[in-house]
Amino acid sequence: MSSTALPKRVALHRNPPTESSVPSSVAPSPFDSPRQSPSSTSLSSMASDAENTSGKMIDTYGNEFKIPDYTIKQIRDAIPAHCYQRSAVKSLYYVFRDMAILATVFYVFHNYVTPETVPSMPVRVALWAIYTVIQGLVGTGVWVLAHECGHQAFSPSKVLNDTVGWICHSLLLVPYFSWKISHGKHHKATGNLARDMVFVPKTRDEYASRIGRAAHELSELMEETPILTATNLVLQQLFGWPMYLLTNVTGHNNHERQPEGRGKGKRNGYFGGVNHFNPSSPLYEAKDAKLILLSDLGLFLVGSLLYYIGSTYGWLNLLVWYGIPYLWVNHWLVAITFLQHTDPSLPHYRPEAWDFTRGAAATIDRDFGFVGRHIFHGIIETHVLHHYVSTIPFYNADEASEAIQKVMGQHYRSEAHTGWTGFFKALWTSARTCQWVEPTEGAKGESQHVLFYRNLNGIGVPPAKIPAK
């Protein structure tokens, strides 16, 4: 894939009101040109800009946002026909390759990293730590291949896709059909604040309620401490995935509005009736019940196998062999998904302004080097394409992604030029910068239904000043 590096954007940092200086830093831009240079930035000029937007939409970094003006037909027509072709043989090769790597790594460590061959306990611990990292990376690749199955991008055969997907996801304690259904809803409503299923940002009112303040106070509060940001990030990476499956955390919470009535009295959270394991969950329809139970059966079978291994070979061994690699898989899954849908340049839409084409563009491609390309099967590097046409197999995604960029123009977002280190930096940047979404101050008409990230940490455009109620 050719370089998708774009010109640099200006990250406008604002200090607390008592400071007179306004330091700036530079970050990469998703648009053709930054709105203003660091030297010309001041609180007064930013306030003036905000007051005179007259319907303009301004992202977190101060760049003017334009709503995408192309169609899904233009996107599809731009993709070469052969990119849509799926090969069962090719896809199965990658499954067997990844499974063989997992088995080989286990065999080598189990037989050659032992007290007899490596007498030093610290060295053995370090080597087994490396084992967990490797297995976590490759296990994430298996997760991605099951994800391909869920989108029917694995092969032309739905039976083969669902069989392979059910096996691979069950081995990773993922309820295949349950997740497939909810994930499909995410694709149908990406960027829609009322219907999206993944990393739906809090609105200003929701964020203020979470921290126990009034919405109008957010523009006056002091910044969140870096320690608190780090703590929240660690908790997200450790527990985000199981919490999503158990409580629908980061998913929409509008179940009461569902027309079939299955969401009556159900809310996200513990004991709220919204999860990926119960056939009566409002995430599903009555016709999905058998598939949810089949997903649960896969988890029961794998759970029973793990119990047998732990009972027979020791629970500490099971923790090292499977438990810690499983946590690594969870970490990578949450990090990838979070950074695909969370960035200071990304908009989110109220239903009044949303459509599929706009929502699919509210995603961003990143880069994770060799691991991203060859172990994670390109899920990080071609995610924008994936939201437009999710049935294209990953091995054709680079070519298709280049093709749609010509249609998307400035609406295509990529951080690929930052490399794999930029991926980790983006975790911190997004955690500090993307706290809630709100319309641009002074936005009118349709623009008031397009929301952008704001924060308490003095990064980018300040929160809008709103009167107390």
Phi/psi for 18 (5° steps) reads -75, -15
* Contacts (Cβ under 8 Å, ≥6 apart) of 417: 3, 4, 5, 6, 28, 367
Cβ 174 vs Cβ 146: under 8 Å = yes
**Look-up: residue for tokens 């739905």?**
158
What's 124-172 look like in SS3? Answer: HHHHHHHHHHHHHHHHHHHHHHHHHHHCCCCCCCHHHHHHHHHHHHHHC
Nearest to 221 by CA among 16, 48, 14: 16
Question: How far is 340 from 238, CA to CA, in rounded Å?
Answer: 18
Give the number of other Cβ atoms within 10 Å of residue 90's Cβ: 14
Predicted confidence (pLDDT) at residue 44 exceeds the cutoff of 90: no
Q: In 222-280, where does DSSP find H-type helix?
A: 226-247
Question: How far is 154 from 394, CA to CA, in rounded Å?
Answer: 9
Nearest to 144 by CA among 404, 381, 448, 366: 381
pTM: 0.86
Mean pLDDT, the chain, integer = 88
Name the band, by pLDDT with cuts 50, 70 and 90, for residue 37: very low
**Look-up: residue for tokens 């997740």?**
179
Give the number of other Cβ atoms within 10 Å of residue 370's Cβ: 9
Output Rg (C-alpha) for the chain, integer angstroms: 23
Highest mean pLDDT among 17-21, 22-26, 124-128, 455-459 belongs to 124-128
Nearest to 326 by CA among 176, 173, 178: 173
- pLDDT of 303-346, one tens digit each? 999 999 999 999 999 999 999 999 999 999 999 999 999 999 99
Cβ 347 vs Cβ 59: under 8 Å = yes
At residue 467, the pLDDT reads 83
At residue 219, the pLDDT reads 83
86 alpha carbon, distance to own chain's centre: 25
Question: How far is 330 from 309, CA to CA, in rounded Å?
Answer: 21
At residue 338, the pLDDT reads 96
The token duo for 20 is: 């007179």
At residue 173, the pLDDT reads 97
Cβ 187 vs Cβ 387: under 8 Å = yes
At residue 265, the pLDDT reads 83
Cβ 12 vs Cβ 61: under 8 Å = yes
Predicted confidence (pLDDT) at residue 13 exceeds the cutoff of 50: no
Predicted confidence (pLDDT) at residue 120 exceeds the cutoff of 80: yes
Phi/psi for 128 (5° steps) reads -70, -30
- pLDDT of 390-416, one tens digit each? 999 999 999 999 999 999 999 999 999
Which DSSP state fits 255? G
Question: How far is 150 from 241, CA to CA, in rounded Å?
Answer: 18
Which DSSP state fits 375? I
At residue 27, the pLDDT reads 35
